[in-house]
């Protein structure tokens, strides 16, 4: 749930609400949306916006419209969050993250830490220990006292909670006319929901003032001017045939006179892709993470292997740019199933179908493939990582 209904008066209004100002050539909220929609554990994104900002969000969310639900927010942040949570009530997820649209530098690891800390009885609050010495102001602008900073933390978002608990807390506060809470963790505390601190990120700043937006723009422009760290990984796999009545290729079950032999479902396409993804960040190969000697992987769907590799890539800040798989076989025919395969891979990788290529070729009756003794697959994946290529 992304909160984007504010007007951002402190940042000035000459160029519109701050969540739609451009940094690095794109709206602030576009960077925020991309991060959360790229995370493998985020299923649904609800954005609470101001009634006047429909067109601004439409432009900012270009390419994500089918994955974003829009809710018109209320007069306060607290009310906007409540309305956004109500929009999720029909789906009723087990966990919900609540994030400020104007924190565009939240990273994948912070999201994962927060999600991993939420339980059915406990929320999670990213925070950083206060480093500055704190002073309490007295009458006339004089220093009244120094406040001990031991145990004090600065709160960040996304704040995470068991969904039904935080929705009920918001509804109760609304019914009692309590509109004075400054964040969702404060409502959780008031409602008796325990909240666990998790390490925040110093990069996860909130863009409050015009100067913050200018500095964020310069930061992204500086990144764009450097040579991007784009890495390409390759994977190859082969499985022989054995008695059976279907094969599984790229996540799709296809009727056939035989099946592929393997410890898992023997999906050569997804096995090759798993290796390609792991190769982009030096994380070993499929056998490292899913050894065939381990009985728990017997008959396992290879989708699990790909999603595990995707999670590793995301945790290291990687954004998957595209995936290309070539299946090498005499039979079965791949063409009739290509669209279903692309849909499966789009779901696993969290990228659009236009970034996925699935091709098939025969081996011209040569070798073990030509003799129809098995199927081979070659996969290539490109991933963009943060930073620049070292000299």
Known binding positions for a divalent metal cation: 237, 239, 271
- Paired tokens of 275: 């290796």
Q: Is 385 helix (H, G, I), strand (E, B) or coil?
A: strand
Nearest-angstrom CA–CA distance, 194 and 314: 29
Query: C-alpha dihedral over 47, 53, 59, 62, to 10 degrees?
Result: 20
Bridge partners of 249, per DSSP, are 252
322, with CB counted inside 10 A (0-12, 13-18, 19+), is middle
332-335's contacts with Cβ under 8 Å and 24+ in sequence apart are 332/247, 332/254, 332/255, 332/256, 333/360, 334/249, 334/358, 334/360, 335/360
* Contact in structure between 139 and 85 (CB atoms under 8 Å): no
Place of tokens 């909220």: 29
Known binding positions: 237-239, 263-264, 271, 285-287, 361-364, 368, 371
Question: Interior CA angle at 154 toward 151 and 156, to 5°?
Answer: 135
The single-letter DSSP state of residue 314 is: H
* Contact in structure between 156 and 100 (CB atoms under 8 Å): no
Element of type H or E holding 142: none
63, with CB counted inside 10 A (0-12, 13-18, 19+), is exposed
- Omega before residue 99 within 30° of 0, cis: no
Q: Tell me the H-state helices in the chain.
A: 28-37, 54-60, 77-88, 108-117, 163-175, 184-191, 210-225, 268-279, 286-289, 303-315, 338-349, 367-370
């Amino acid at each position: 749930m992304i909160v984007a209904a504010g007007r951002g008066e402190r940042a000035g209004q000459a160029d519109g609400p701050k969540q739609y100002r451009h940094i690095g050539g794109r709206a602030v909220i576009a960077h925020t949306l991309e991060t959360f929609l790229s995370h493998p554990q985020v299923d649904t994104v609800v954005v609470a916006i101001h009634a006047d900002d429909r067109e601004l969000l439409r432009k900012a969310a270009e390419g994500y419209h089918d994955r974003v639900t829009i809710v018109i927010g209320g007069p306060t942040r607290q009310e906007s969050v409540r309305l956004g949570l109500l929009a999720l009530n029909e789906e009723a997820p087990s966990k919900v993250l609540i994030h400020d649209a104007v924190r565009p530098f939240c990273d994948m690891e912070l999201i994962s830490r927060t999600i991993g800390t939420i339980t059915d009885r406990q929320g999670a609050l990213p925070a950083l220990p206060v480093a500055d010495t704190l002073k309490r102001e007295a009458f006339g602008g004089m220093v009244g006292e120094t406040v001990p900073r031991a145990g004090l933390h600065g709160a960040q978002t996304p704040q995470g909670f068991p969904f039904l608990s935080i929705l009920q807390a918001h509804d109760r506060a609304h019914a009692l006319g309590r509109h004075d809470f400054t964040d969702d963790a404060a409502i959780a505390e008031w409602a008796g929901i325990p909240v666990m601190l998790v390490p925040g990120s110093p990069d996860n700043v909130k863009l409050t003032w015009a100067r913050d937006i200018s500095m964020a723009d310069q930061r992204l422009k500086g990144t764009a001017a450097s040579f991007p760290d784009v890495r390409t990984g390759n994977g190859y796999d082969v499985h022989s045939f054995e008695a059976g009545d279907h094969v599984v290729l790229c996540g799709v079950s296809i009727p056939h006179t035989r099946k592929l032999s393997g410890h898992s479902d023997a999906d050569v396409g997804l096995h090759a892709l798993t290796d390609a993804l792991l190769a982009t960040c030096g994380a070993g190969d499929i056998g490292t993470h899913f050894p065939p000697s381990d009985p728990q992987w017997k008959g396992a769907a290879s989708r699990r292997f790909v999603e595990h590799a995707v999670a590793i890539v995301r945790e290291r800040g990687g954004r998957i740019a595209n995936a290309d798989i070539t299946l090498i076989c005499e039979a079965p025919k791949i063409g009739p199933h290509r669209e279903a395969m692309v849909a499966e891979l789009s779901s696993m990788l969290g990228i659009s179908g236009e970034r996925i290529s699935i091709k098939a070729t025969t081996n011209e009756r040569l070798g073990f493939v030509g003799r129809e003794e098995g199927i081979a697959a070659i996969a290539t994946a490109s991933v963009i990582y943060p930073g620049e290529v070292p000299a």
